[in-house]
Amino acid sequence: MPSDRSGAELARLVRAHDRWRGRGVFNLLASENAISPAARRFLSSDLAGRYTLPHAPRPGEPGTDNDYGGTRFTDQIERMANDAAARLFHGRFATTRPLSGHLAAMSALVPLLPRGGRLLAIPPEDGGYDGYAPGYLPAMFGWEGRPLPAKGPGASLTAEAAAEEIRRERPSIVLLGQSRFLFPYPLKEIAEAAHAQDALVLYDASHVLGLLAGGEFQDPLREGADVVYGSTHKSLPGPQGGLLVTDREDLFQQIDPALTWRVFDNAHWNRIAALGQTLLEMERHGPEYARTVVANSQALATELDRRGLPIVAKELGFSRSHQVHVDPDRLLSDHGLRPSELSYRWERQRLLTDRIGRIGTAEVTRLGLKPSDMPRMAEFLDRAGPKRERVGAEVLAWRRSYRSLAFT
């Protein structure tokens, strides 16, 4: 096919995607969010194609403090983003260079955990991130991956069970954080148990970073975690990427110099500018945004439960995060459905979720939906799901009434 026709086809596909995802559906994927218009503009700025490599001036070579020319603004942009991250997550040292949450994890773990070191992390079957399971990062870097079970309601962690496991396993690093993440941890007690054994506590906030930014969920560094890091695009409504913050200079001095040339080379400065903008917006609007996200989760779960859709952790109030979890066992016994079938039914009616039973409220909160809108959302989920009604046109009419983003 001639390249001009391929180009037209590519443009058509991108426009179709943008129309569908930007205006044609309610996005209830817990791992995604909507980027503010200002941050989106920065993503397509000239920074998208530039390099910078600042370093200490070399003796005898006056003026050579960057290996690339033309960088007079990039380094200031990065500094502003790092400073905003440090302020928001309450640590003195921050980097916005990691290109993703996974690479932020690698950036912290590789310098802090020697080959053969023991890593205690919540296993995927309890909602932990797959990357920490023995076959992935531990296999790649020669660590011993051990499970920290999270068996409370909604895969929550109790202080006593975690402390006992830490004493028994004697890990070098206790890694907290989950992909299926409903409730904050008793972090003070867990950190005390870990520090008593000379273990570090790393907190993967990939899912809850936007809640932390708004003062909801928990405050990991102040509650005892040594390093907090995560993705910048799930509950935090930033561009896809990662960041890392710590209050410990000794740890930052091990992590920061090891980033460039070990984990990546260039750090995508358009992304860092867009992330900086997101963090500044969160400093202004974060508390109201995060409060509304959590209130929406609780209101949506309550309404779904009232309609007979099985939701986990009712005894704990369903959720303190941007996620609500469908109970797969009761879904099968009460409705004869698996989470994936439910998700496909919803998608056909313009309601997007993942296929593993998580419903996320972050992006619809950005659109401006409030707890008073959740009965209507629950009604559509119920009718499109178990009742298998065709509600797509009604959903689209409702979606069209939200034209801009809140909290920007």
Query: What are the residues binding ligand PLP (CB under 6 A)?
Result: 31, 100-102, 105, 129, 131, 177-179, 204, 206-207, 231, 242
Q: Shortest Cβ distance from residue 322 to ligand PLP (Å)?
A: 12
**How large is the C-alpha radius of gyration of the chain?**
22
* 396 and 24 Cβ atoms separated by less than 8 Å: yes
In 3D, which of 220, 231, 226 has the Cα closest to residue 102?
231
* SS3 of the chain: helix, strand, coil, percent, to 5: 50, 10, 40
Report the distance separating Cα 200 and Cα 176, nearest Å.
11
Q: Shortest Cβ distance from residue 103 to ligand PLP (Å)?
A: 6
For residues 106 and 391, which CB has a smaller minimum distance to ligand PLP in the complex? 106
For residues 129 and 217, which CB has a smaller minimum distance to ligand PLP in the complex? 129
* 184 and 177 Cβ atoms separated by less than 8 Å: no
Report the distance separating Cα 281 and Cα 238, nearest Å.
10
For residues 228 and 326, which CB has a smaller minimum distance to ligand PLP in the complex? 228
For residues 231 and 361, which CB has a smaller minimum distance to ligand PLP in the complex? 231
For residues 100 and 260, which CB has a smaller minimum distance to ligand PLP in the complex? 100
Instruction: Tell me how crowded residue 266 is: count the other CB atoms within 10 A of its CB.
Output: 13
Q: Shortest Cβ distance from residue 308 to ligand PLP (Å)?
A: 29
Strand partners, 360: 323
For residues 129 and 252, which CB has a smaller minimum distance to ligand PLP in the complex? 129
Q: Shortest Cβ distance from residue 230 to ligand PLP (Å)?
A: 6
Q: Shortest Cβ distance from residue 181 to ligand PLP (Å)?
A: 7
Report the distance separating Cα 75 and Cα 62, nearest Å.
19
Angle ∠(243,246,252) on CA atoms, nearest 5: 90
For residues 267 and 309, which CB has a smaller minimum distance to ligand PLP in the complex? 267
Strands (E), 83-236: 93-95, 118-121, 144-147, 173-176, 200-204, 227-231
For residues 179 and 297, which CB has a smaller minimum distance to ligand PLP in the complex? 179
* 157 and 128 Cβ atoms separated by less than 8 Å: no
Q: Shortest Cβ distance from residue 197 to ligand PLP (Å)?
A: 24
Q: Shortest Cβ distance from residue 178 to ligand PLP (Å)?
A: 6
For residues 108 and 221, which CB has a smaller minimum distance to ligand PLP in the complex? 108
| Residue count (the chain) | 408
For residue 42, the number of C-alpha atoms closer than 13 Å in the C-beta half-sphere is 21
Residue closest to ligand PLP (Cβ):
101
Q: Shortest Cβ distance from residue 380 to ligand PLP (Å)?
A: 26
State the helix-helix crossing angle for 269-306 and 74-89, rounded to 10 degrees: 30
Q: Shortest Cβ distance from residue 357 to ligand PLP (Å)?
A: 15
For residues 45 and 100, which CB has a smaller minimum distance to ligand PLP in the complex? 100
Nearest 10 degrees: CA dihedral of 386, 390, 396, 399? -20
Report the distance separating Cα 408 and Cα 403, nearest Å.
13
Q: Shortest Cβ distance from residue 121 to ligand PLP (Å)?
A: 10
* 164 and 157 Cβ atoms separated by less than 8 Å: no
Q: Which helix (H) or strand (E) holds 3?
A: helix 3-23
